[in-house]
Amino acid sequence: MQEWSLFRVTGQPDDIGYRLGELARPMMVAYMQQSAAWKQVSRWRGHPFVEALWRAAEAYFPALVAELDGMAAGLGWPVEDVFLWNCRGELIHNAPDGCTTLAAVSGNARFIAHNEDGDPYLRERCFLVDVQPAGKPGFVSFYYPGSLPGHTFAASRAGLVQAINNLRIRVPAVGVPRMILARAVLDTNSLDEAVALLRDMPRASGFHHTLGCVGDSRLVSVEATVQRCSVVADTLRFGHANHLVHDGCDSEGQIITDSSRDRQVRVNALLPALGAPVTDDALLRVLSDQAPSGLPIYRDDPHDPDDENTLATALFRIESDGVAMQVYRQGHRAFDTFIPRTAHSNTVF
């Protein structure tokens, strides 16, 4: 299995966006031509709701809108279409982005492990990027072509780890699109600052964020949606698929697919059985589980009912001075690095 190359992207927001667009450009036309999601999203061109999302994004995160401008230039696409694609979670309620995330504290060790599930067409067509914005901590992230990095899995030089799970929220609202919020989290300097950002911003739809940080003993589960921002930080082990599970979530309309339901049930059964101490290999075994019945955690069926396959598996170990990050592709380790913590903050929420 070929190792996964890391592409370094630096500079001002438009420079970063342009390079990300350049990376994606060779495959973008073919990718969009086969994408059922793009066919649905593109129907929203010129809609007042999209214009309102743009205004909200620009008001709160103008630098990230500038990244999208640069990405459009690098792709050779209209910026309106790039923005549409980065709002797919707000525009189609059953967006084809899956994922399963695990988090565990074991003694002094803290782990976050994640299956990135997406369009099977993108197998072998995604990137790992080292993004270093001017004046920000910078981060290493999985990158879907044409999408802001950050809504998948990443670790920053502030020591922050984030893994994202799609939530299929039925009723979006005018606010900051969820992919922009997820990217903004990677510019924060602490776990408290990241949670405060998710709590305080007007949210247009919803994601689940699993968060941890160097120098902070907590692993945090955040369901940040239109109606609420629920934060759970007192569990030693937890797992999350693609639907709301926190107490009090019943009032918010969501789509729960059979795959998401089965993966959540299976994770809830497997995590307590791991025993102690929890190890890297034990978490990877859970994420590679094929299940004796129902739909599996590791997804490689070309006829998956959600049209998703596992494109990568990430394992993060949060240490005292940085984050050890490994990425696996089809069961083989394709990337292994250590990201030292070089930015610090003492914010409190």
Domain annotation covers residue 134 = yes
Q: How far is CA 29 from CA 24, 86, 89, 147, 253, in A?
A: 10, 16, 21, 14, 34
pLDDT band at 347 (very low <50, low <70, confident <90, very high): very low
pLDDT band at 59 (very low <50, low <70, confident <90, very high): very high
pLDDT band at 3 (very low <50, low <70, confident <90, very high): confident
164 and 282 co-located in one domain: yes
Q: In a 10 Å sphere around its CB, with 0-12 CB exposed, 13-18 middle and 19+ buried, how is residue 2 labelled?
A: exposed
84 and 215 co-located in one domain: no
pLDDT band at 348 (very low <50, low <70, confident <90, very high): very low
User: Got the DSSP string for 173-215?
Assistant: -SSB-HHHHHHHHTT-SSHHHHHHHHHHSPBSS-EEEEEEETT
Domain boundary among 90, 113, 143: 90
Domain boundary among 90, 107, 133: 90
Structural domain containing residue 227: 96-340
Q: Please, are residues 277 and 107 in contact by the beta-carbon 8 Å criterion?
A: yes
Confidence (pTM): 0.96
How many domains, the chain? 2
Under DSSP, the state recorded for 122 is: G
Q: In a 10 Å sphere around its CB, with 0-12 CB exposed, 13-18 middle and 19+ buried, how is residue 11 labelled?
A: middle
- Which is higher by pLDDT, 96 or 4? 4
CA atoms of 139 and 187, how far apart (whole Å): 8
240 and 105 co-located in one domain: yes
Q: CA 41, 149, 262: angle at the middle one, nearest 5?
A: 70
Domain annotation covers residue 245 = yes
Q: In a 10 Å sphere around its CB, with 0-12 CB exposed, 13-18 middle and 19+ buried, how is residue 8 labelled?
A: exposed
281 and 300 co-located in one domain: yes
CA atoms of 165 and 243, how far apart (whole Å): 8
Q: 24: which residues sit within 8 A by CB, 6+ positions away?
A: 71, 74, 75, 145, 146
Q: In a 10 Å sphere around its CB, with 0-12 CB exposed, 13-18 middle and 19+ buried, how is residue 132 labelled?
A: middle
Taking only the tens place, the pLDDT of each residue in 187-239 is 999 999 999 999 999 999 999 999 999 999 999 999 999 999 999 997 899 99
The structure tokens 């300097």 sit at 189
Taking only the tens place, the pLDDT of each residue in 88-147 is 999 998 777 789 999 999 998 999 999 999 999 999 999 999 999 999 999 999 999 999
Bridge partners for 237 per DSSP: 104
- pLDDT attached to residue 2: 59
212 and 286 co-located in one domain: yes
Over 70: is that where the pLDDT of 311 sits? yes
82 and 220 co-located in one domain: no
Taking only the tens place, the pLDDT of each residue in 266-307 is 999 999 999 889 999 999 999 999 988 899 999 999 889 998
Tokens of 109: 């060790």
Q: Please, are residues 207 and 229 in contact by the beta-carbon 8 Å criterion?
A: no
Domain boundary among 43, 72, 90: 90
Over 60: is that where the pLDDT of 14 sits? yes
151 and 222 co-located in one domain: yes
Average pLDDT, the chain: 94
Taking only the tens place, the pLDDT of each residue in 312-332 is 999 999 999 999 999 999 889
The structure tokens 């009912």 sit at 305
The structure tokens 């049930």 sit at 265
Domain annotation covers residue 1 = no
Strand 6-11 and strand 127-133: the pairing is parallel
Domain annotation covers residue 259 = yes
- pLDDT attached to residue 235: 84
125 and 231 co-located in one domain: yes
Over 50: is that where the pLDDT of 43 sits? yes
83 and 115 co-located in one domain: no
145 and 31 co-located in one domain: no
85 and 133 co-located in one domain: no
- Which is higher by pLDDT, 154 or 5? 154
pLDDT band at 344 (very low <50, low <70, confident <90, very high): low
Over 70: is that where the pLDDT of 349 sits? no
- Radius of gyration over every alpha carbon of the chain, rounded to an integer in angstroms: 18
Q: Please, are residues 177 and 157 in contact by the beta-carbon 8 Å criterion?
A: no
pLDDT (mean) for 40-52: 97
CA atoms of 48 and 40, how far apart (whole Å): 16
Domain annotation covers residue 346 = no
Domain annotation covers residue 10 = yes
CA atoms of 159 and 154, how far apart (whole Å): 10
- pLDDT attached to residue 234: 77
Domain annotation covers residue 347 = no
82 and 113 co-located in one domain: no
Question: Which CATH number do you get for residue 158?
Answer: 3.60.60.10
pLDDT (mean) for 49-62: 98
- pLDDT attached to residue 122: 94
Domain annotation covers residue 251 = yes
